[in-house]
Amino acid sequence: MIEVGIVGGTGYTGAELLRLLARHPHARVTVLTSRQEAGQRADALFPALRGFCDLRFSGPEPEALAACQAVFFATPHGVAMEMAPSLLARGVKVIDLSADFRLKDPAVYQRWYRRPHACPELLAEAVYGIPELRRHEIARARLVGNPGCYPTAVLLGLLPLLEAEAVEVDGLIADCKSGVSGAGRELKLGSMYGEVAENFQAYALGGHRHQAELEQEIVALTGGRGGLVFIPHLLPMFRGMQATIYARLTRIDLDLQALYERRYRGEPFVDVLPAAAVPDTRSVRASNVCRLAVHRPAGGAMAVVLSVIDNLVKGAAGQALQNFNLMFGLDERAGLDTPPLAP
């Protein structure tokens, strides 16, 4: 068994990691940290884990974490970059679910996260962990920056069009909606039930932190070109995310359905729906699946891509586990092959 540590196990993504790893055939969580909940059993904080996880939370002791073969950081931004260098030096593989290792430019990180990066020398080495894009790099990596939920949904939706050079990259639009769990587990007025229920609104119109990731990856895919309008919205539900992507075609004769089916053929966690189908967030609930549909309204020059994921699984913990599997040479589907939860 591969011994695993989770730093920051009390948030939604930490709980998802525990849920998924509880059934993993080749991994066992041996260290689970939380300063605030130290001494408490995980299944007391998360009763759904009764019978699956009897670990107690402990403080983030460096020696205990260094005894693991891999450590997941499900922490606020700024924690992983302080702890990762010493773990890497001890031979521990690191998967960071915060933004500390997603961005390559430390100046861009400081601009968006309001702090200097603690180990900028590691940014070039860190692999941006979308398996469908960088599978071979992830398999060789010792440090993976797990992508944000919005970028995961948007980039999976855009990849076939960008790789085929089939769209105008300066006029891309990503109109995105997320459930409230994307805001995290801490108490915030804007994510309280009474504020979210029976309501729908856009937010972060002045700039969302995930914009930086999206710009970085689109520029990398297009050889230095690209411009994306990205507008997130908050939905009155807990889980789920949809990205509706608009892209003006430069190749009108292209068979979009065939392009998407060909690009994702054999991908275990990307499902391209049949022509004219429409995905919904409920169809991916609690799963690591991204469902895609591509349309050309009225046969015109605009491609519309619909991409749905569970923001806590494919958008966070599930993708992190998929990266873990690749890093250790395991079946990519290990611990992730259960169907979505329905109804």
Domains located in the chain, CATH noted:
2-125 (3.40.50.720), 150-310 (3.30.360.10)
List, by residue number, the catalytic residues: 149
Strand order in the sheet with 127-128: 27-33, 2-7, 70-73, 93-96, 143-145, 127-128
Residue 132 one-letter amino acid: E
- DSSP letter, residue 189: G
Distance of CA 285 to the CA centre of its chain: 15
Please write the tens of the pLDDT for every residue from 21-52.
999 999 999 999 998 889 999 999 999 999 99
- DSSP letter, residue 41: B
CA angle 280, 285, 287 (to 5 degrees): 120
Residue 280 CB coordination number (10 Å): 12
Picking from 151, 98, 99, 155, the residue whose alpha carbon sits closest to that of residue 132 is: 155
- Do 335 and 288 contact (CB within 8 A), yes or no? no
What are the C-alpha distances in Å from 113 to residues 62, 78, 116, 274, 315?
Answer: 25, 9, 8, 40, 20
180 or 242: whose pLDDT is higher?
242
Residue 22 one-letter amino acid: A
What pLDDT does residue 145 have? 98
Q: 177 pairs with which residues across the strands?
A: 233, 242
What pLDDT does residue 226 have? 75
Region 88-110 average pLDDT? 98
What pLDDT does residue 182 have? 76
Q: CA–CA separation, 68 vs 61, rounded Å?
A: 12
Kindly indicate the confidence band of residue 250, based on its pLDDT and cuts at 50, 70 and 90.
Answer: very high
Q: What is the pTM of this model?
A: 0.95
Q: CA–CA separation, 176 vs 207, rounded Å?
A: 13
Distance of CA 156 to the CA centre of its chain: 11
Q: Tell me which H or E stretch contains 303.
A: strand 302-309
Kindly indicate the confidence band of residue 108, based on its pLDDT and cuts at 50, 70 and 90.
Answer: very high
Please write the tens of the pLDDT for every residue from 259-310.
999 999 999 999 999 999 999 999 999 999 999 999 999 989 999 999 999 9
Residue 75 one-letter amino acid: T
